[in-house]
Amino acid sequence: MPINPDFPKGYEVIGKHYNKDGEHFHFVWGPGRLADAAQNEECKKDYATRGENIEPVGVHGTMVAVDWDVCVADGACIEACPVQVYEWYRTSNDVPNNEAWKHPGGNGESVKEHRKDFTDKADPIREHDCIWCMACVSVCPPQAIKVDQSNLEYHEKAAGTYNEALAKSSQPPPHHH
Ligand code: SF4
């Protein structure tokens, strides 16, 4: 199933993912739901190898929004983007999907075939560099991406209300091995 076209309505901010440049960030919206990644054979195999459950993780980014529950680590978006908005988040910090936002990214791989494995996700770590060309949206096989400049309104509203201390103190969900 594609990303909800009405995103980010119905979701709320569950994290703030910084770029290592110390300045830029994107929000993470949840709670998410099990979708394409939970049914994809390559994804299931690699999560099993790592001993990680496939859990709802939600959407990374607001104007460039990637539904990580839909993303199957194809990497077409990474290859298509003319301004390198995306990186493979696990090549920056190799942690479970739902902990990615707790570790600043920005130095990960931007080559399609350089994904760590099929538990990796395309992260719009340079969301602010987007030039709204829509190339990533049209090439994503499961339609995990929504690019909408007008979602800046949601980003700015969240930036005004986000409680960093509260979010940082929340414990990551338990992982069952
Ligand atoms: S819309 Fe274009 S510039 Fe923006 S993230 Fe997608 S491919 Fe990159």
In the chain, domain spans? 12-157
pLDDT at 1 over 90: yes
Q: Which of 140, 139, 50, 62 is nearest to 99 (CA)?
A: 50
| CATH architecture of structural domain 12-157 | 2-Layer Sandwich (3.30)
Q: To test ligand 1's pocket by mutation, which of 3, 79, 112, 147 has the most ligand atoms within 8 angstroms of CB?
A: 147
Q: Which two tokens stand for residue 121?
A: 């996700």
Q: What is the pLDDT of residue 164?
A: 76
Q: Which of 141, 172, 161, 150 is nearest to 65 (CA)?
A: 150
pLDDT at 173 over 60: no
Please tell me the distance from the alpha carbon of residue 139 to that of residue 154, in angstroms, as a whole number. 25
* 52 and 68 Cβ atoms separated by less than 8 Å: no
Q: Which of 170, 126, 114, 13 is nearest to 136 (CA)?
A: 126
Q: What is the pLDDT of residue 169?
A: 63
Please tell me the distance from the alpha carbon of residue 46 to that of residue 77, in angstroms, as a whole number. 21
Please tell me the distance from the alpha carbon of residue 66 to that of residue 144, in angstroms, as a whole number. 6
pLDDT at 177 over 50: no
Residue nearest to atom 7 of ligand 1 (CA): 81
Torsion of CA 136, 4, 116, 21, to 10 degrees: 70
Q: How many CA atoms lie within 13 A of 67 on its CB side?
A: 28
pTM: 0.93
Q: For 118-170, what is each residue's pLDDT tens digit?
A: 999 999 999 999 999 999 999 999 999 999 999 999 999 999 888 877 776 66
Q: For 23-60, what is each residue's pLDDT tens digit?
A: 899 999 999 999 999 999 999 999 999 999 999 999 99
Q: To test ligand 1's pocket by mutation, which of 3, 24, 83 has the most ligand atoms within 8 angstroms of CB?
A: 83
State mean pLDDT over 101-108: 97
The answer to whether the CB of 132 is under 6 A from ligand 1 is: yes
